Amino acid sequence: MVEFLQQVINGVSLGAIYALLALGYTMVYGVLRFINFAHCDVFMIGAFAGMYIGRHVPEETVWGGLTVLAGAMLICAVLGIVIERLAYRPLRSGPTLNVLITAIGVSLFLEYGAQDEHVFGQRPQAFPQIFPNTSFQLGDVRLSSNQLIVIVVTVILLVGLRLFVMRTRLGTAMRALSFNPKAAQLVGVNNNVVISATFGLGSALAGAGGILYAMNYPSIEPFMGVMPGLKAFVAAVLGGIGNIPGAALGGLLLGVVETFVNGSDYSTYKDAIAFAILILILLFRPAGLLGRSTVEKV
């Protein structure tokens, strides 16, 4: 029983990070109908940004940690907006395949560029302990402070995002765009601004995800985002792509399932399980758990 509960906690903590990443994917897909392959690399840049910022603030303090988090989120937001502007916007009117390929190109560029010895290098680097590190004991179950911070920050960001999307004008504009871009333009929405904002917001969440991930797994390297990115995408699809609470739910579920698989005898199949889930969902319930089926108009 103890082991079960501990695994649940481990799973929730991992799932929270997937949820944050999934949010970015789902937002961009909802608005632009395309998978931003480079999202996971923004995640990675966030972690590295955090590492560098972390060197200038004292370790293990709350305000230091918050500075790192905010700084990384800001840098990633800017990065996301720049990528959209330079690489995706020119192709928006063309076939979606081209944007997809460009996204792959941007992703590879970020990964291999970061690998360059003059940038970050390929060796795994140590991520500093930015928040004070303790652990809490609840019976026989342990929760490290880092895990707790992940969960708390994710919840805050999730709620914040939901409020933003539901209550603010920009958020409403995003939703309008995801329903029908042309109609949104007709009612006065500036698509370019809204799309940039979507990317910025999604990338900021990726940056936060990167920091939280690096806090719990303090070995960062340029390819650290690839697998979490793919898993987060699976989570987004699982919950219903384009659906924000869905992304959170999907992330959570995936994190827990993955953790249990990891602790079992089939741990080496862990990656395959995530993809198997993706395939099953796409085959049997493509709209995802919380999504709604849409009819494709010809």
Partner 1 sequence: MRRYLPQLGLIFGIVVAAIVTRYSDAIDPYVLDIATGAGINVILAVSLNLVNGHTGQFSLGHAGFMAVGAYVSGACSLFLGPRLLGDDPTALSQGLFFLGALTVGGLGAGLAGLLVGVPSLRLRGDYLALVTLGFGEIIRVIIQNMDVVGGALGLNGIPPYTTIFWVLGCVALTIYVVTSLVRSTYGRGFIATHDDEVAAASVGLDTTRYKIVAFVVGAFFAGIAGGLYGHFKLTVLPTGFDFTKSIEIVVMVILGGMGNTLGVVLAAILLTLLPELLRPIAEYRMVLYALLLIALMLLRPQGLLNIRVSKKRRT
Partner 2 sequence: MTTLSLRGLAVLTFVSLAFFSNARADDDTIHVGEIASLTGKEATFGHSSHEGTLLAIEEINAAGGVLGKKIELITEDNATKPGESATIAKKLISRDKVVAILGEVASSRSLEIAPIAQAYKVPMISPASTNPTVTEKGNYIFRVCFIDPFQGTVMAKFAKQTLKATRVGVLTSVSSAYSVGLSKYFKETFAKNGGTIAIEQKFSEGEKDFNAQLTAIKAADVQAIFVPTYYTEAALIAKQARDLGITVPLFGGDGWEAPELLEIGGSAIEGLYYSTHYSPQADTPEVKGFVERFRKRWNGETPDAMAALGYDSARVLADAIKRAGTTKNTKLRDAIAHTKDFPGVTGKTTIDEHRNASKAAAIVTVHNGQFKFVQTVSP
Q: Which residues bind partner 1 (CB under 8 A)?
A: 33-35, 87, 90-91, 94, 96-102, 104-109, 111-113, 115-117, 226, 230, 233-234, 237, 268-269, 271-272, 275-276, 278-279, 282-283, 286, 298
Q: Is 185 in the site for partner 2 (CB under 8 A)?
A: no
Partner interacting with residue 216 (select from partner 1, partner 2, none; CB below 5-8 Å by kind): partner 2
Which of residues 113 and 160 has its CB atom nearest to partner 2 in the complex? 113
- Give the one entry of partner 1, partner 2, none that residue 113 binds, where binding means its C-beta sits below a cut-off of 5 to 8 angstroms depending on kind: partner 1
**Smallest separation, CB 283 to partner 2 (Å):** 25
Q: Going residue by residue from 93 to 132, which x/- string records binding to partner 2, judged by CB under 8 A?
A: ----------------------x-x---xxxxxx--x---
Tokens of 217: 């797994």
Q: For strands 135-138 and 125-126, give the pairing.
A: unpaired
CA distance 227 to 197: 26
Alpha helices by DSSP H, 168-241? 169-179, 181-186, 191-216, 226-239
Q: How far is the CB of 55 from partner 2 (least distance, A)?
A: 13
Pick from 213, 229, 202: nearest CA to 47: 213
Q: Does 148 bind partner 2 (CB under 8 A)?
A: no
Helix (H, G, I), strand (E, B) or coil at 168: coil
The residue (of 2 and 104) whose beta carbon lies closer to partner 2 is 2
**Torsion from C-alpha of 21, 42, 197, 93, nearest 10 degrees:** -100
Rounded CA gap, 86 and 114, in Å?
19
Distance from C-alpha of 82 to C-alpha of 104, rounded to nearest angstrom: 16
Q: Which is nearer to partner 1, 1 or 283 (CB)?
A: 283
Buried b (16+ CB within 10 A) or exposed e, 263-291: beeeeeebeebbeebbeebeeeeebbbbb
Residue 268 is a binding residue for partner 2 (CB under 8 A): yes
Closest distance of CB 38 from partner 1, Å: 10
Residue 158 or 281 having the CB closest to partner 1: 281
Q: Which of 235, 215, 198, 202 is nearest to 151 (CA)?
A: 215
5-64 residues in contact with partner 2 (CB under 8 A) are 6-7, 10-11, 13-14
Q: Of 69 and 224, which has the nearer Cβ to partner 2?
A: 224
CB 259 within 8 A of CB 44: no
Helix axes 244-263, 145-167, angle to 10 degrees: 160
Cα distances (Å, whole numbers) of residue 31 to 39, 243, 260 = 15, 11, 34
Binding-residue pattern over the window 207 to 226 for partner 2, x denoting contact by CB under 8 A: ---------xxxx-x-xx--
Strand, helix or coil for residue 230: helix
Nearest by Cα to 66 from 213, 224, 211: 211
278 binds, options partner 1, partner 2, none, Cβ within 5 to 8 A by partner type = partner 1
Choose which of 58, 61, 63, 135 interacts with partner 2 (CB under 8 A).
135
Contact footprint for partner 2 (CB under 8 A): 2-3, 6-7, 10-11, 13-14, 115, 117, 121-126, 129, 135, 137, 142, 144, 146, 216-219, 221, 223-224, 227, 259-264, 267-268, 270-271
